[in-house]
């Protein structure tokens, strides 16, 4: 056999070699795009203030929110054992908003950290109610799971709208409902680092969530305390949701889109796929924010609106793909 007929294995470049440059490019574009002009060749005092007080905090907030929300969506899908769920389709976000609304009414002078903790408790309670509904309602199709969550969130949202309308707080609720980073400045985004820390904790305990995602009986047979792992995972999801709602508002469907895209490429192993979910979530949020800033420049379209359109279209695609697979 000649040397020319030998089939030599082809070396493929790691995906990180493509993902990291794209992420860094989006990060740099986010710093450069804005109404105020930056003179990079001669950074004066005004340019440094714009960069350090406004542009850099906003970009970091986008990255932190994208990473943590994507990880929260992946955890929720593992724990609910359904690819169609994430915090905005399970009532978790609405319950966090309800807690924040009650704090605004009863203790408006409470520090931001206290508001976040109260919102986390309400979000955790909502997540537990959602999981209880899944056990109580007979599920004939996987599509029923997000429908139950959306209906539950709709009921909680109606309660929020009623209270806010009667007490003239509709503007505050609108700010929480639609994610917007235009008001992010230095000193107003640091709470999002808590979400990043929770994402790291999720990675360190990823193997337990992977086992729990295989079902109660399987996890119990392996000696795993399924109830505590479920509660711990839901607590992470709830705190990430509350931190995001308090700081930037809701970014719908982010936790739905990113984990599904990553699972198509890498499967369902949580520890292997979680870093990819984090970096893709951050990159996608950066891209949508840049798009929202450029579509009607110098005005902005909130990122919640931009991603709501993209995420809802992807959600419909997943539903149609599931129905075609069954037919």
Supply angle C-alpha 19, 20, 24, rounded to 5: 120
What pLDDT does residue 317 have?
79
Read off the pLDDT of residues 204-220 as tens digits, 9 standing for 90 and up.
988 888 888 787 877 78
pLDDT at 236 over 90: yes
pTM equals 0.87
Rg (CA), the chain: 21
What pLDDT does residue 71 have?
93
Most distant CA pair in the chain: distance in Å?
A: 85
Give me the torsion for CA of 269, 272, 278, 283, rounded to 10°.
Answer: -110
Q: What is the DSSP code (8-state) at residue 299?
A: S
Provide CB contacts within 8 A for 274, sequence distance 6+.
71, 74, 199, 202, 203, 206
**Could you count the other beta carbons within 10 Å of the beta carbon of residue 202?**
27
Question: Which token pair is 183?
Answer: 């008001």
Question: Which DSSP string do the residues of 98-163 spell out, in sequence order?
Answer: HHHHHHHHH-TTS-HHHHHHHHHHHHHHHHHHHHHHHHHS--SSTTHHHHHHHHHHHHHHHHHHHH
Q: Which comes out higher in pLDDT, residue 108 or 71?
A: 71
- Separation between Cα atoms, residue 56 and residue 73, nearest integer Å: 26
Cis previous bond, 298, omega within 30:
yes
Q: Find the mean pLDDT for residues 299-319.
A: 83
**Could you count the other beta carbons within 10 Å of the beta carbon of residue 145?**
23
Provide CB contacts within 8 A for 292, sequence distance 6+.
300, 301, 302, 303, 305, 306
What pLDDT does residue 7 have?
43
Number of helices (H), then strands (E), belonging to the chain: the values are 14, 0
Fold of 53-322: ABC transporter involved in vitamin B12 uptake, BtuC (1.10.3470)
What pLDDT does residue 1 have?
42
What pLDDT does residue 240 have?
93
Supply angle C-alpha 133, 139, 141, rounded to 5: 135
- Separation between Cα atoms, residue 93 and residue 125, nearest integer Å: 11
Q: Which comes out higher in pLDDT, residue 1 or 236?
A: 236
Report residue 307's pLDDT band, with 50, 70 and 90 as the boundaries. confident
């Amino acid at each position: 056999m000649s040397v020319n007929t030998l089939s030599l294995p082809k070396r493929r470049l790691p995906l990180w070699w493509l993902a990291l440059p794209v992420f860094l490019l989006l990060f740099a574009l986010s710093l450069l795009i804005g109404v105020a002009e930056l003179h990079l060749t001669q950074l004066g005092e005004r340019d440094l203030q714009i960069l350090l007080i406004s542009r850099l905090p906003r970009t970091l907030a986008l990255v932190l929110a994208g990473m943590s929300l994507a990880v929260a969506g992946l955890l929720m899908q593992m724990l609910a054992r359904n690819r169609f769920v994430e915090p905005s389709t399970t009532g978790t976000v609405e319950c966090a908003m309800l807690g924040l609304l009650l704090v605004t009414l009863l203790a408006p002078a409470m520090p931001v950290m206290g508001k976040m903790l109260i919102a986390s408790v309400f979000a955790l309670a909502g997540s537990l109610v959602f999981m209880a509904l899944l056990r109580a309602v007979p599920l004939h199709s996987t599509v029923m799971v997000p429908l139950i969550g959306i209906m539950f969130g709709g009921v909680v949202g109606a309660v929020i709208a009623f209270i806010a309308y009667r007490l003239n707080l509709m503007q505050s609720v609108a700010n929480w409902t639609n994610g917007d980073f235009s008001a992010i400045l230095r000193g107003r985004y640091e709470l999002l680092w808590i979400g990043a820390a929770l994402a790291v904790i999720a990675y360190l305990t990823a193997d337990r969530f992977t086992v729990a995602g295989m079902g109660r009986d399987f996890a119990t047979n392996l000696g795993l305390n399924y109830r505590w792992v479920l509660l711990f995972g839901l607590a992470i999801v709830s705190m990430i949701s509350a931190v995001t709602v308090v700081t930037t508002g809701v970014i719908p469907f982010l936790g739905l889109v990113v984990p599904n895209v990553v699972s198509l490429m890498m499967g369902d192993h949580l520890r292997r796929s979680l870093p990819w979910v984090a970096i893709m979530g951050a990159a996608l949020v950066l891209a949508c924010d840049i798009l929202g800033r450029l579509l009607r420049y110098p005005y902005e379209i909130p990122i919640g609106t931009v991603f709501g359109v993209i995420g809802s279209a992807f959600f419909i695609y997943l539903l149609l793909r599931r129905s075609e697979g069954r037919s």
